[in-house]
Chains A and B, each alone.
Chain A
Amino acid sequence: MTDTVHSLLAEAGAAADPTLRRLWLVAAIEKIVGVPVFLVGGAAVDLYVGGYRPTDVDIVGAIRRADREAMISEGFVPVGRHLRWVYPDGGSDDVEFPSSTLDGDFIEVALTDGVRVKVISLESLVVDRIHQATDGSPVTFDEAVRLVAAVAGDADWAAIASDLLSRPDAAFLGSAATARSLLARAGGEATAREFFPED
């Protein structure tokens, strides 16, 4: 199968699983813009743990105005800050580019032998969600609990703790205390004691 833009968009349209559909869409977008793009945010959470229903698709990459224009030329529709792709069945995904650079590490998800999508790594995603949860919002805290409870032993907690606690704002934000709290809520008390010990 060739990985032309149109074949990738066709694969997206044919995918019944919304998660797979979004991955094919990201592959198509990378082909259109010609620079590396990374799936992050809620769509990445949904990929790793499911049950999330992202309201948009966050992609980071060094996207220029010409790249947005190229996406529009391929059929994406500007809707506010998003670019919307409408699938043949009437469904749609709204794509947003919240940042030009990836904060963290990434993996490649192979849809086929020749088609790969770059996705923020699970550890970097967990760090991002724990960091967000320091804002005091019950919504972000519950979302972080959900992610942590879901990934449990699949995540590299040594790497997560190292990344999170080495940030200069860690003490100010109380990142360690937040991590302990949400791990306790998620049934990860042992992980909390090992990687986020109290002083």
Chain B
Amino acid sequence: MNSDLLALRIGSQLRTLRKVQTVTLAQLSGRCRVTVSQLSLIENGRVDVRLSTLVRILGALGSDLGAIAVKEPSVIPISTVLEGRERARRRLEEAGIGDSSPELRLDRKDGLGVDTSAERQGLPAT
């Protein structure tokens, strides 16, 4: 088992649980008596979290161990991912849904005030 990846995945899920509830690190720290810096390290998978601490943090979020996957992330061979992409392509074709338009997406970003000049450089000339 890769403990670094496990810590990373647990931390990522904890962060998601916390942010879904719009709880700040400071607020969570106050609830579970784990320092803000330690919580940040845990959320970023930089430390191994003790089981008792993990249970306490989850409890402070109104949750328990059942809410998170305490296992390493799935490892998918690229060939499997590309097979899934091919299935997706066929579904879109059958549904009559065409490719996404990068120009439309960039136009939307322009509307949001985002500088898209660099990204437009990469588009093929029309």
Name A's B-contacting residues (CB within 8 A): 19-20, 23, 36, 42, 45, 47-56, 62, 79-82, 84, 92-94, 101-111, 116, 118, 121, 137, 139-140, 143, 145-146, 149-152, 154, 163, 166-168, 186-187
Q: Which residue of A lies closest to B92 (CB)?
A: A150
- With A105-B13, A107-B73, A186-B95 known as contacts, the answer to whether A52 contacts B100 (CB < 8 A) is yes
Interface size on B (CB < 8 Å)? Answer: 51
Instruction: Classify the interface of chain B: helix, strand, loop or mixed.
Output: helix
Distance of A7 from chain B, by nearest CB (Å): 17
Which of these, B78, B85, B89, B118, contacts A84 with CB under 8 Å? B118
Asked whether A101 lies within 8 Å of B44 as measured between CB atoms, the reply is yes
Asked whether A146 lies within 8 Å of B91 as measured between CB atoms, the reply is no
Distance of B1 from chain A, by nearest CB (Å): 14
Residues of A within 8 A of B22 (CB): 168
Instruction: Classify the interface of chain A: helix, strand, loop or mixed.
Output: mixed
Asked whether B105 lies within 8 Å of A106 as measured between CB atoms, the reply is no
Name B's A-contacting residues (CB within 8 A): 5, 8-9, 12-13, 15-16, 19-22, 43-45, 69, 73-78, 81-82, 84-89, 91-92, 95, 97-100, 102, 104-108, 115-123
Which of these, A53, A94, A101, A105, contacts B118 with CB under 8 Å? A94
